[in-house]
């Protein structure tokens, strides 16, 4: 058994892990929409709606923003709509817009005019964002946002790994936020079927293969994050113009390290067992372990270690796969 085999596999795994985490951007996924009255509404975007109960950051962002309104009031446009962008404890920007009017259309209410002004409060560290829509600045200055957040938290549903949209309205009897809608958005869990071809290098031999795979993808907050799969590799080699067939059956796990739905970055590990043996390339009872990394939409690379004959001999291997 040669130590460099394990060193190379560990080095490749570390490289893949660093590259996968390089895309780790904290994008908001859960949405909380609160309609307080005819003068203001609030939209909160955050990775997990139960973050509201854990760190209190959203409440701090909103109350801190309110405390700064009097200082910037004179700089706000008087005769045109505007957007206030507040990067929490960093910068405030005021943008005048060219909006004339904006309407939303629904079956229940018909044509309703939207609010003309907005305040967008963002925390870059955790990706929390709150969007306040309003017409009159006095409505924004006088609303008790701390009590609104407390009411929303009190009505939060149980923790859920799927992406959610929560809608609140003010309860006339208690004058507190009341949860009126809790619905799923984004992906569900799903099954996948794959087929492909691969090029393998093993003991200075070049092998081709045809592969098939069935997998279960598990959704986490609107992104397919985890995958369990079973795959099969039928390997071809040639000996004196005769095709020699060997077959490995594998089980594996992959993790998507990206938080961007359209740019997944899968990294995983698998264990394979020789289920059909021919020729002299593989001994009976050969097993293999390996890493696999999707470097492109249809391209997968996999360094491997083969254990011939129940750990009697260890040999490195490498595969590049192309999925269909």
Return the HEC string of the chain: CCHHHHHHHHHHHHHHHHHHHCCCCCCCCEEEEEEEECCEEEEEEECCCCHHHHCCHHHHHHHHHHHCHHHHHHHCCCCCCEEEEEECCCEEEEEECCCCCCEEEECCCEEEECCCEEEEEECCCCCCEEEEEECCHHHHHHCCHHHHHHHHHHCCCCCCCCCEEEEEEEECCCCEEEEEEEEECCCCCEEEEEEEEEEEEECCEEEEEEEEEEEEEEEECCEEEEEEEEEEEEEEEEECCEEEEEEEEEEEEEEECCCCCCCCCEEEEEEEEEEECCCCCCCCCCEEEEEEEECCCCEEEEEEEEEECCCCEEEEEEEEEEEC
Q: What's the confidence (pLDDT) of residue 113?
A: 76
Stated pTM of the model: 0.73
Q: What's the confidence (pLDDT) of residue 231?
A: 96
Instruction: Give me the residue spans of the domains in the chain.
Output: 3-24+187-323, 38-154
Q: What's the confidence (pLDDT) of residue 11?
A: 45
Q: What's the confidence (pLDDT) of residue 17?
A: 45
pLDDT along the chain (324 residues), means of 10: 47 46 54 85 90 88 93 91 94 88 72 86 89 92 92 90 89 90 86 94 92 93 91 89 91 91 90 93 91 88 88 88 85
Annotation: CATH topology of 3-24+187-323: Porin (2.40.160)
């Amino acid at each position: 058994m040669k130590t460099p085999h394990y060193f190379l596999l560990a080095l490749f795994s570390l490289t893949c892990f660093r590259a996968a985490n390089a895309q780790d951007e904290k994008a908001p996924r859960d949405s909380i929409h609160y309609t307080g009255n005819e003068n203001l509404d609030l939209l909160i975007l955050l990775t997990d709606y139960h973050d509201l109960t854990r760190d209190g950051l959203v409440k701090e962002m909103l109350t801190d923003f309110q405390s700064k309104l009097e200082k910037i009031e004179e700089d706000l446009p008087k005769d045109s709509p505007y957007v206030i962008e507040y990067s929490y404890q960093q910068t405030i920007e005021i943008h005048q817009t060219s909006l004339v009017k904006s309407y939303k259309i629904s079956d229940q209410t018909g044509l309703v005019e939207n609010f003309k002004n907005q305040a967008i409060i963002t925390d870059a560290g955790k990706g929390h964002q709150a969007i306040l829509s309003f017409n009159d600045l006095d409505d924004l200055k006088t609303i008790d946002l701390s009590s609104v957040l407390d009411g929303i938290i009190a009505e939060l549903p149980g923790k859920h790994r799927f992406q959610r949209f929560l809608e609140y309205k003010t309860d006339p009897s208690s004058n507190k936020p009341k949860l009126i809608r809790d619905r799923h958005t984004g992906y569900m869990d799903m099954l996948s079927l794959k087929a492909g071809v691969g090029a393998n290098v093993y003991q200075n031999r070049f092998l081709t293969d045809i592969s098939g795979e069935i997998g279960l993808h598990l959704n986490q907050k609107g992104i397919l994050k985890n995958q369990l799969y079973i795959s099969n590799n039928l390997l071809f080699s040639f000996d004196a113009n005769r095709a020699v067939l060997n077959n490995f059956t594998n089980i594996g796990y992959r993790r998507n390290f990206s938080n961007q739905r359209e740019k997944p970055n899968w990294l995983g590990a698998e264990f394979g067992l020789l289920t059909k043996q021919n020729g002299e390339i593989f001994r009976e009872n050969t097993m293999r372990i390996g890493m696999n990394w999707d470097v492109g939409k249809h391209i997968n690379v996999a360094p491997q270690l083969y254990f011939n004959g129940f750990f009697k001999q260890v040999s490195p291997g490498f595969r590049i796969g192309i999925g269909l």
